[in-house]
A and B are shown apart, each in its own frame.
Chain A
Amino acid sequence: MTAVQQAPPAGPPAGSAQAPPPARRDSAGALQRASGRPAGGAGRLLPRTVAARIRALTALSLVLLLVLLGIGWAAIVNAREGVRVIGHDAGPQVVATGDLYFQLSDMDAQLANALLIGTAAGGGRDQALQRYDDNRQKAGDALLKAAKLADETTENNTARDLLDALGRYERLAGQALLLDRQSPHASGPPSQQVVGLYRQATDLMKLDLLPKAYNLTLDNGTLVRHTYEDKRSSVLMGRTGILVAGLALLAALAVFQLYLTRRFRRLLNVPLALATLGTLVLTGAGTLMLSGQADHLRKAKEEGFDSILALSRTRAISNSANADETRFLLDPGRADAYEQVYLSKSQTVLYLKAGNLTQYNDAVQKGLSFEPGRAPFLGFLGTEANRPAESAEQRARLADGMNEALAAYQKVQANDRRMRDLVKGGQRDEAVTARGAAAADFTRYDRSLQDLARIHQKAFDEAVADGDAGTSGWYAVLPAAGVLIALLVLAGVRPRLAEYRWSK
Chain B
Amino acid sequence: MVEVSARRTAAGVAAAAALLGSAAACGVADAADGSVVGKDRLVIGVNADQPGVGAREGDRYEGFDIDIAKEIAGRLGVAGPGVTFRRVYSATRERMLQSGEVDLVVASYSVTPERKVKVSFAGPYYVAHQDILVRAADAGKIRSIHDLKGRRLCKVRGSVSFPRVHDEQGIAALPVEEDGYSDCLTDLVGGDLDAVSTDDLILAGLAGEASGSGHRLRIVNAPFTDEPYGVGIRKGDVDGCEAVNKAITGMYQDGTAPRLLKRWFGDTGLKLTTTVPQFEGCV
**Residues of A bordering B, CB below 8 Å:** 37-38, 152, 154, 157-158, 161, 207-208, 210-212, 214-215, 218, 221-222, 225, 229, 233, 236-237, 240-241, 243-244, 247-248, 250-251, 254-255, 258, 306, 313, 336-337, 340-341, 344, 347-348, 351, 353, 355-356, 378-379
> In whole angstroms, how far apart are the Cα atoms of A306 and B19 in the complex?
29
Q: How far is the CB of B30 from chain A (nearest CB, A)?
A: 8
Q: Which of B10-18, B57-65, B96-104, B176-184 contacts A (4 or more CB under 8 A)?
A: B10-18
B226 at the interface (CB under 8 A from A): yes
Q: How far is the CB of B36 from chain A (nearest CB, A)?
A: 16
A to B CB contacts below 8 Å, 9 in the list: A161-B253, A207-B273, A236-B23, A240-B20, A251-B12, A258-B5, A337-B222, A356-B168, A378-B117
Chain B residues within an 8 Å CB radius of A344: 225-226
Chain A residues within an 8 Å CB radius of B281: 218, 221, 313
Q: Known A38-B3, A240-B19; judge A211-B278 contact (CB<8 A).
A: yes
B50 at the interface (CB under 8 A from A): no
> In whole angstroms, how far apart are the Cα atoms of A254 and B6 in the complex?
9
Q: Known A244-B13, A244-B17, A247-B16; judge A237-B117 contact (CB<8 A).
A: no
Q: Known A258-B2, A378-B114, A379-B113; judge A356-B169 contact (CB<8 A).
A: yes
Chain B residues within an 8 Å CB radius of A229: 30
In the complex formed, the residue of A with least CB distance to B283 is A225
Inter-subunit contact B145/A336 (CB<8 Å): yes
Q: Which of B80-88, B207-215, B241-249, B256-264 contacts A (4 or more CB under 8 A)?
A: B241-249
Inter-subunit contact B226/A341 (CB<8 Å): yes
Chain A residues within an 8 Å CB radius of B17: 244
> In whole angstroms, how far apart are the Cα atoms of A9 and B113 in the complex?
83
Q: How far is the CB of B200 from chain A (nearest CB, A)?
A: 13
Task: For the A-B complex with A348-B113, A355-B167, A356-B168 known, give 14 more contacts whose Cβ atoms are closer than 8 Å.
Answer: A154-B253, A161-B253, A215-B278, A233-B23, A240-B16, A251-B6, A336-B224, A337-B224, A340-B224, A351-B113, A351-B114, A356-B170, A378-B113, A378-B116
* Chain B: interface residue total (CB-CB under 8 A): 50
Inter-subunit contact B16/A251 (CB<8 Å): no
B159 at the interface (CB under 8 A from A): no
Chain A residues within an 8 Å CB radius of B90: none
Inter-subunit contact A207/B23 (CB<8 Å): no
**Residues of B bordering A, CB below 8 Å:** 2-3, 5-6, 9-10, 12-13, 16-17, 19-20, 23-24, 27, 30, 113-114, 116-117, 144-146, 163-164, 167-170, 222-226, 238, 242, 245-246, 249-250, 253, 273, 275-279, 281-283
> In whole angstroms, how far apart are the Cα atoms of A208 and B274 in the complex?
9
Most buried by B among A211, A341, A344, A379: A211
Chain B residues within an 8 Å CB radius of A348: 113
A-B pairs, top 9 by smallest CB distance, nearest first, are: A211-B278, A355-B168, A251-B9, A351-B113, A244-B16, A356-B168, A378-B113, A240-B20, A208-B275
Cβ-neighbour of B13 out of A154, A211, A251 (below 8 A)? A251
In the complex formed, the residue of A with least CB distance to B281 is A218
Q: How far is the CB of B171 from chain A (nearest CB, A)?
A: 10
Chain B residues within an 8 Å CB radius of A379: 113
> In whole angstroms, how far apart are the Cα atoms of A236 and B225 in the complex?
48
Chain B residues within an 8 Å CB radius of A336: 144-146, 169, 222, 224
Q: How far is the CB of B77 from chain A (nearest CB, A)?
A: 16
> In whole angstroms, how far apart are the Cα atoms of A215 and B122 in the complex?
12
> In whole angstroms, how far apart are the Cα atoms of A286 and B145 in the complex?
69
Inter-subunit contact A215/B164 (CB<8 Å): no
In the complex formed, the residue of A with least CB distance to B27 is A233
In the complex formed, the residue of B with least CB distance to A154 is B249
Inter-subunit contact B13/A248 (CB<8 Å): yes
> In whole angstroms, how far apart are the Cα atoms of A222 and B246 in the complex?
11
Chief secondary structure at chain B's binding surface: helix
Chain B residues within an 8 Å CB radius of A212: 275-276
In the complex formed, the residue of A with least CB distance to B111 is A348
Chain A residues within an 8 Å CB radius of B223: 337
> In whole angstroms, how far apart are the Cα atoms of A240 and B114 in the complex?
41
Q: How far is the CB of B162 from chain A (nearest CB, A)?
A: 12
Inter-subunit contact B13/A247 (CB<8 Å): yes
Inter-subunit contact A157/B253 (CB<8 Å): yes
Most buried by B among A38, A313, A336, A347: A336
Inter-subunit contact A237/B276 (CB<8 Å): no
In the complex formed, the residue of A with least CB distance to B228 is A344
Chain B residues within an 8 Å CB radius of A207: 273, 275
Q: How far is the CB of B29 from chain A (nearest CB, A)?
A: 12
Q: Known A237-B24, A336-B145; judge A210-B16 contact (CB<8 A).
A: no
Q: How far is the CB of A37 from chain B (nearest CB, A)?
A: 8
> In whole angstroms, how far apart are the Cα atoms of A237 and B226 in the complex?
46
Q: How far is the CB of B166 from chain A (nearest CB, A)?
A: 10
Q: How far is the CB of A371 from chain B (nearest CB, A)?
A: 18
Q: How far is the CB of B222 from chain A (nearest CB, A)?
A: 8
Cβ-neighbour of A340 out of B167, B170, B225 (below 8 A)? B225
Inter-subunit contact A243/B19 (CB<8 Å): yes
In the complex formed, the residue of B with least CB distance to A237 is B23
Chain A residues within an 8 Å CB radius of B250: 154
Inter-subunit contact B23/A306 (CB<8 Å): no
Cβ-neighbour of B5 out of A158, A233, A254, A355 (below 8 A)? A254
Chain A residues within an 8 Å CB radius of B276: 158, 211-212, 215
In the complex formed, the residue of B with least CB distance to A158 is B249
Chain B residues within an 8 Å CB radius of A240: 16, 19-20, 23
Q: How far is the CB of B113 from chain A (nearest CB, A)?
A: 4
In the complex formed, the residue of B with least CB distance to A218 is B281
Chain A residues within an 8 Å CB radius of B282: 218, 222
In the complex formed, the residue of B with least CB distance to A39 is B6
Chain B residues within an 8 Å CB radius of A251: 6, 9-10, 12-13
Q: How far is the CB of A288 from chain B (nearest CB, A)?
A: 15
Q: How far is the CB of B120 from chain A (nearest CB, A)?
A: 13
> In whole angstroms, how far apart are the Cα atoms of A255 and B283 in the complex?
51
Chain B residues within an 8 Å CB radius of A152: 246
Chain A residues within an 8 Å CB radius of B16: 240, 243-244, 247
> In whole angstroms, how far apart are the Cα atoms of A37 and B145 in the complex?
90
> In whole angstroms, how far apart are the Cα atoms of A379 and B117 in the complex?
10
Chain B residues within an 8 Å CB radius of A214: 278-279
Q: How far is the CB of A273 from chain B (nearest CB, A)?
A: 14
